[in-house]
Amino acid sequence: MRIRETGDLWWKTAVIYCLDVETFMDWDDDGIGDLQGLTQRIDHLADLGVTCLWLMPFYPTADRDDGYDITDFLGVDPRLGDVGDLVRLIRTARDRGIRVIADLVVNHTSDRHPWFRSARRSKDSPYRDYYVWSATKPPDTSDQVVFPDQEAGIWTLDEATGEWYRHRFYRHQPDLNTANPRVRDEIAKVVGYWMQLGLSGFRVDAVPFFLADTAKHPGDDLQDPHDYLRDLRSFLSRRAGDAVLMGEVNLPYDQQRQFFGDDDGDGTADGTELTLQFDFVAMQQMYLSLARRDARPLAATLGTRPTIPRDAQWATFVRNHDELTLDKLSDDERAEVFAAFGPAEEMQLYGRGLRRRLPTMLDGDPRRIRMVYSLLFSLPGTPVLFYGEEIGMGENLAAEGRMAVRTPMQWTDERNGGFSRAAPSRLPGPVVEDGYGPAHVNVAAQRLDPDSLLAFIRLLVRRYRESPELGWAREVEILSQPHDAVLAHRSTWDDGSMVALHNLAPEPVVVPLELHDCSGDGPPARLVDLLETAETEVDARGRVELELPGYGFRWLRVVHETERRLI
């Protein structure tokens, strides 16, 4: 196994951890999390095994969309600290072997950004064409609204100039016009600035919207929207050859593949656009499989994953910072998932997603929770964790919209979960209550418990990092077996191979497998369990039978007599 290659393409076997500085740790006790607090808690991430920290927006903001309405792309929100604090965080994280990436939110600005304030004052403003305007009243666009509970369309009349400006999201977030070369230059300046300060790349927000205007207007010097994404990737790579662009592209696989930049789709070349993309399609099918206790929807979807560039990667996840979107499911399928995991209307959002965390959706069943995280780490790709997942945090449905899952981190069983000593009224949001509150779920207690979820996630991270075939496998090999509730898949890279089994149902089963490359007259192969002390011999015909308890799971490394890897 060519372990040396994993150091060059670090993102293919990374463990990414997403957090909002504002809700992670408040060190000066003003009620708001800050960069100093995050730096003080960096060893928690190092102990967990995190290798890449993804920061949600930390820029100055009007704070009407949890930091995604930015007023200055080159600054740090003073509530969180300053640029010096960010540099200190990056340096401290790097000392622990953790790279830092940040949200790149350049689809829009806040309506309080100086560019837009100038643009709306006069049609002659030098920043007028930084945004998208219409002199005539646009047609009905209610079907294009991202937040249907907040907006009736994507155009709003600006009284000062009598023209309409476009906003794919909220009306206080006017869209930037990436057809304007000056806007693209500004974005390059933003990317270059933060790279110079030590970032290792960006998670790019809403990529299809971000590219929507590029190459769409007369005089644009680009022929295709993807030309701009290629230019941005090239610029990033010149500044730092190992930097990444991790993109949010919630599209079907055939369209999503184009954003990697491998035009012929044979996977033999390096990518020229996004380095990683979130696998929204498999995530949604995973929840459908969990709801049905039937692994076939997920297995079928994994089998249709397109070939991607050899240096690109899928980012896999169970939960992220937004609603748990189910928009790629049919109406009936979505209704099944809603019924299983969020039957009350208050648990749902926008008619397409859930605003709950996994433990509450699974009624706190530790067997199912651990099985799902085992599945996440065993799928070929790069796992992404959302803060608090490692301890099984729940949500607070009293918080508005997406904020239900963006509650303060729970460090101890003290007031405010040890997040802050400020009065609860000064926190950025309410702490989780009831059985998932800090009295029952917190880092301090789980650090001392070898049987805790934290200890289990730490084990998964370690075994994932020791099994680069999980990140480097070219495809997901679905293994034939008779149980609908079981997902049996195999990941192979070079001379390393691992079989993973997951039982999505409560009934125990015996899973027969045939591993044809383990048959013949040569030395017998064995399957060594990586999550517990056990191993199973494979017979001369490559056959083996494996026991799985209800909601059980196993990671089995295929070991031959000549194996030199440490088990």
Q: Is 159 a catalytic residue?
A: no
- Counting every residue written for the chain, the total comes to 567
Give me the amino acid identity at 20.
Answer: D
Q: How many of the other CB atoms lie within 10 Å of CB of 534?
A: 13
Helices first, then strands: H and E counts in the chain? 18, 22
What string of H, E and C letters represents the secondary structure of 315-339?
A: EEECCCCCCEECCCCCHHHHHHHHH
CA distance 338 to 426: 33
Contacts for 209-212: CB closer than 8 Å, 24+ residues apart: 209/107, 209/168, 209/175, 210/106, 210/107, 210/178, 211/178, 212/168, 212/175, 212/178
Residues whose CB is less than 8 angstroms from the CB of residue 258 and which lie 6 or more positions away in sequence, other chains included: 226
DSSP 286-301: HHHHHHHT-SHHHHHH
Residue in 21, 31, 158 with CA at minimum distance from that of residue 89: 21
φ, ψ of residue 50 to 5 degrees: the values are: -60, 140
Give me the amino acid identity at 126.
Answer: P
Angle at CA of residue 503, ends 497 and 508, nearest 5°: 120
For CA atoms 290, 293, 299, 300, give the dihedral sign: negative
CA distance 110 to 104: 14
Annotated catalytic residue, options 66, 205, 294, 323:
205
DSSP state of 436: G
Annotated catalytic residue, options 151, 248, 323, 395:
248
Q: What is the largest CA-CA distance in the chain?
A: 83
CA distance 94 to 558: 34
- Element at 384 (helix H, strand E): strand 382-386
Q: Is 26 a catalytic residue?
A: no
Q: How many of the other CB atoms lie within 10 Å of CB of 143?
A: 8
Q: Does residue 147 sit in helix, strand or coil?
A: coil
CA distance 243 to 238: 9
Burial class (CB within 10 angstroms; exposed 0-12, middle 13-18, buried 19+) of 554: buried
CB 368, CB 551: distance < 8 Å: yes
CA distance 452 to 141: 49
DSSP 5-53: HHHHSGGGG--EEEE-HHHH--SS-SSS--HHHHHHTHHHHHHHT--EE
Catalytic amino acids? 205, 248
